[in-house]
A and B are shown apart, each in its own frame.
Chain A
Amino acid sequence: MTATTTIDEAARPKQRPGRAGFALSQKQVWGLLFTAPYIAVFLGFVVFPVGYAFWLARSPHLYVELADDPIFLRTVINTLVFLIVAINIKMVMALFLSGFFAHKRWWVKVLAVLFVLPWAVPSIPTILSIRFMLNPEWGVINTLIFRLTGDDGPNWLNDPALALSLSMVVHIWKSLPFWTLILLAGRLAIPHELYEAASVDGAGRWKAFRYITWPSISTLYVTCTLLSMIFTVGDFNSVYLLTGGGPADLTHVLATLGIRYLRLDQVGLAMASIVCALPLILPLVFFMMKRLSK
């Protein structure tokens, strides 16, 4: 990346003399032509909808109504808990597993191939499969609990705290492979000589991690954590397909609440609830853009 930029910079002035003016404007015309399709998509399906959303959410009384809705407050808390707990657990797991998958064994390679399945296949059948496993009457988990202990298992999805925790488990199950692969790529980019030198110096596994691995991938780890937070704010499936927001609308997150309002035909509230989430997301987004658009 940096290497190519310097080459470009060095090559550019040579190109300039003589035909600079013509070449530049011609390039500009072609550049506009080539970006036009994306700009059209951006205007038609990002700028217009977002602008329209803000217009629908313009009335202050929507926010009063929202603040009076106990479900909204509960949703905000759920979203924060979801983001902080699920993502940190997931990223620590991904960091740990990326170390596991860095081992060169044939069966680790086979396992790495299988490990990606939750990420590659559609959410709906797999999340519904988990939902059926958790069914209190005939789900496989409670059947096993009954067989082993003689007691009835818990009514998993009928308890708000348990149901939200299980949504987090589903979220982790689904997106752990992706982040593990990213961190694995980061680990594999570390020169192997560093580890050899450390091992000659008698450093153990923990010291190698502490002084070589972590300093090399800590920036990547933070980037991934923040990116995952932004994406997880929009994770509709993990909650909706597992709990449907229930019981009694107590497990909604912001991603599902907007859709709930939409289905109740309260589009204004749906938009307002999204606008309320912006202070949470925009700082993250600007921070990430600074990092990624270098």
Chain B
Amino acid sequence: MRGVSTEAALLLVGIPVLLWTLIPIYHMFLFAISPKDAAFSGQLWPTSPTFRNFEIVFGQKHHFLYNFWRQMFNSLVISIGTAVLTLMIASAAAFAISRLRMKGGRLVMNLALFTYFIPAAFLAVPMYKTMGMYGLLNSDWALVLAMVTVASPYAIWILRQASDKLPVELDEAALIDGASPFQLFRLIYIPLMVPSLIAVGTYALLLAWNEYLYAFLLLSRETAITLPVALGNFLSADDSPWELLMTAGFIYALPPAAIYYAFRKYMSSGLTAGAVKG
């Protein structure tokens, strides 16, 4: 009897959670497969589902979407650039702090933590002005460097915690065998850190792919912007084709969802491990 009531109570929580989670996403999907003007009817499934919207988006057949592929490509380049650069910078810093135990390593860690705690929207305004001074506005580099700045503190923190757990005897053995710190880094440290590096790389990749605020401040030229900025531009027009906006948005949401699920194991163990410590 008690077992049945537990199941019932679990379902009573589970069903609202499922609806709460999926309704906005399902609504977006419904728009994407509905013909123009039929998406507003409040039906659970359109009377005549269609892939017409996807054809228009993929074929760039609307003036809001003339640069769809170009903007997707920008998103891709920027997120891969952010992930690679964050991984290089953060793994090197974490190695120096945790394995080389350099003097001042603690200070570097604290500076990184401090950066992690600057609210992203506050750094955005000065970042915009600074990128302007550096002459980087409208270049991929502006967004990549901004995203690296935002992503690397957390990355360093997570990687440092993971590398603190590696046995110190490894380093000693390698150093006695005459390995230089760089060989230690490349041949021993990096291979052992692969699971955490995957977690951090995925984190940086998703952060850059999903970013809206920095992207819309730093990039404005139609061929330089990432897709979220293009989607945001839909909002400023009165005659915006909402069904196309939702379709393009749905397409844009697929890669991060897929990447998240592919690396879910690493993400949850790698990223939550850091936070749980507090």
A contacts, CB < 8 Å to B: 1, 4-5, 7-8, 11, 15, 23, 26-28, 30-35, 37-39, 41-42, 44-46, 48-50, 52-53, 56, 97, 100, 103, 105, 107-108, 111, 113-118, 120-126, 128-130, 132-133, 138-140, 143-144, 147, 173, 177, 181-182, 185-186, 189, 219-220, 223-224, 227, 230-231, 233-237, 240-241, 244, 254-256, 258-259, 262, 267, 270-271, 274, 277, 281, 284-285, 288-289, 291-293
A285 to chain B, nearest CB (A): 4
Set A28, A108, A130, A234: member contacting B102, Cβ < 8 A? A28
Q: Is B41 interfacial (CB-CB < 8 Å)?
A: yes
Complex Cα–Cα for A50 and B114 (A): 12
Q: Given A27-B181, A292-B278, are A49 and B235 also a contact pair (CB < 8 Å)?
A: no
Q: Given A132-B31, A220-B278, are A126 and B103 also a contact pair (CB < 8 Å)?
A: no
B96 to A31, Cβ gap below 8 A? yes
Q: Given A31-B102, A35-B97, A258-B122, are A4 and B164 also a contact pair (CB < 8 Å)?
A: yes
A182 to B123, Cβ gap below 8 A? no
B14 to A, closest residue via Cβ? A111
Q: Is B149 interfacial (CB-CB < 8 Å)?
A: yes
Q: For chain B, residues 135 to 193, give those with C-beta under 8 angstroms from any C-beta of chain A.
A: 145-146, 148-149, 152, 156-157, 161, 164-165, 167-169, 172, 175, 180-182, 185
On chain B, the residues within 8 Å of A35 by CB distance are 92-93, 96-97, 102, 105, 108
Complex Cα–Cα for A234 and B214 (A): 12
Complex Cα–Cα for A1 and B97 (A): 14
On chain B, the residues within 8 Å of A230 by CB distance are 117, 119
B110 to A224, Cβ gap below 8 A? no
Complex Cα–Cα for A144 and B44 (A): 11
B10 to A128, Cβ gap below 8 A? no
A125 to B276, Cβ gap below 8 A? no
List 15 A-B pairs, Cβ < 8 Å.
A8-B101, A27-B100, A35-B108, A42-B112, A52-B126, A114-B22, A117-B25, A122-B212, A123-B210, A132-B27, A147-B42, A185-B268, A236-B213, A259-B124, A259-B217
A31 to B105, Cβ gap below 8 A? yes
A38 to B108, Cβ gap below 8 A? yes
B276 to A220, Cβ gap below 8 A? yes
A49 to B102, Cβ gap below 8 A? no
B21 to A114, Cβ gap below 8 A? yes
Q: Is B73 interfacial (CB-CB < 8 Å)?
A: no
A42 to B111, Cβ gap below 8 A? yes
Set B18, B125, B252: member contacting A111, Cβ < 8 A? B18
Chain A interface mostly: helix
Set A8, A38, A241: member contacting B93, Cβ < 8 A? A38
A121 to B119, Cβ gap below 8 A? no
Known: A38-B156, A50-B118. 8 other contacts (CB 8 A): A37-B88, A49-B123, A53-B125, A113-B264, A122-B228, A236-B213, A262-B128, A289-B117
Q: Which of B23, B100, B126, B175 has the most CB of A within 10 A?
A: B126
Q: Is B219 interfacial (CB-CB < 8 Å)?
A: no
Q: Given A128-B245, A223-B278, A255-B119, are A28 and B17 also a contact pair (CB < 8 Å)?
A: no
Q: Given A103-B10, A124-B212, A262-B125, are A45 and B242 also a contact pair (CB < 8 Å)?
A: no
Closest 10 CB pairs of A and B: A125-B249, A31-B102, A234-B119, A49-B126, A255-B121, A34-B96, A223-B278, A143-B42, A53-B126, A138-B40
Q: Is B49 interfacial (CB-CB < 8 Å)?
A: no
